Amino acid sequence: MPEPELHPRDTIDRKIEQELFAGLVSFATRARMLVISDKRDRGKSTLLRRLRYNCERVIKPPVPACLVDLQDFSEATPFAFVIKIVAGLEIDDKFPKFTSLNNARVAKNFDPFDTSGAEMPGYAAKGQISTGGGAYVAGNVSANKVIGRDSYEGAKVVQNISRGEFTEIQEEIARKWCIEAFFDDLRVLCATQPIVMLVDHWEKCNYDLREWIRNSFMAGHCIHPNMNLRPAKLAVVVAGNTFDEAKERFGIRDMEFIDLFKDESEHNETVLSHASLSDWGNDHIREFLKQNGHDKNMSDEDIDFLRLKLKRGMTFSQIRDISKSISSGDA
């Protein structure tokens, strides 16, 4: 059976990380990102749950926060990423443009996505699909359409075309407009309201989605070179396994996001980085074992042994397995 998940308030230590985060969400400096990396199974996801808990229960006044797990996507697209953020923040009526357009998208109403007068390069006018040769065919978006005079009865025939499924191009256009509306809403919201986005498992993210998060979500908005175009009070936390050429090729590298800034100085002002989680002392080891029910028959020498193993790279799961054997007398 899997181990029971701890309540976020019971997260052991991580005082350094929590202090870094508290400074980030104070918005007293130019820092807007916190990057947390370490080896697999070292407590990063647990820490993110703790940081979200702090936003809800510790920080006063509370700060709306959402936790997006990048390995938990059935559809790894920018639109799905935005949907998870809006749903996770649970802020009523604070994304009006996005909500209005997305409701139209769900209802298969293409009228709000009329691109005939808008600068949307690469797209045809409303209700049309490019055939690739400069010609267009009508999409299924009309309501009542007069189609002409019946040659036999001499009467006008009115055809009622009900809204059906969007074409693939229409759905793509609608999603792009929804995403842009989300960014517009986010800038307005974060002008006065602090918001925190926690992003977990960077190394597990679909490559295309990860590139969009870097280049559009982060560079294009969250850390836009023009400070006036950034959501002013938005803080982003990114966590993932550390890069390893042999074991974790998509892990977080040192200075992972530096290419999004004009120079190292701007990067260091904006991004707080914690390359490995803070070490545990013997008290933390004992508390961890107690929470997992493996603290019986554990001598000081056993605790010392486990602390050194953890410091040298052993995972929490391995520590738990060893302590279980010691506690039960099997070791």
For 3-30, write each residue's pLDDT tens digit: 445 555 445 556 778 888 999 999 999 9
Residue 294 pLDDT grade (very low, low, confident, very high; cuts 50, 70, 90): low
Q: Does residue 144 surpass a pLDDT of 60? A: no
Distance CA(121)–CA(227), nearest Å, equals 26
Instruction: Give me the pLDDT at residue 131, please.
Output: 30
Instruction: Give me the pLDDT at residue 157, please.
Output: 28
Q: Does residue 147 surpass a pLDDT of 90? A: no
Do the beta carbons of residue 91 and residue 66 sit within 8 Å?
no
Within 10 angstroms of residue 108's Cβ, the number of other Cβ atoms is: 16
Q: What are phi and psi of 204, to 5 degrees?
A: -95, -5
Dump the DSSP string for 3-46: PPPPPGGG----HHHHHHHHHHTTT-SS--EEEEEESTTSSHHH
Residue 151 pLDDT grade (very low, low, confident, very high; cuts 50, 70, 90): very low
Over residues 75-100, mean pLDDT:
94
Residues paired with 33 in a beta bridge: 236, 271
Give the residue extent of every domain in the chain: 8-91+193-274, 92-175, 282-328
Tell the CATH topology of 8-91+193-274: Rossmann fold (3.40.50)
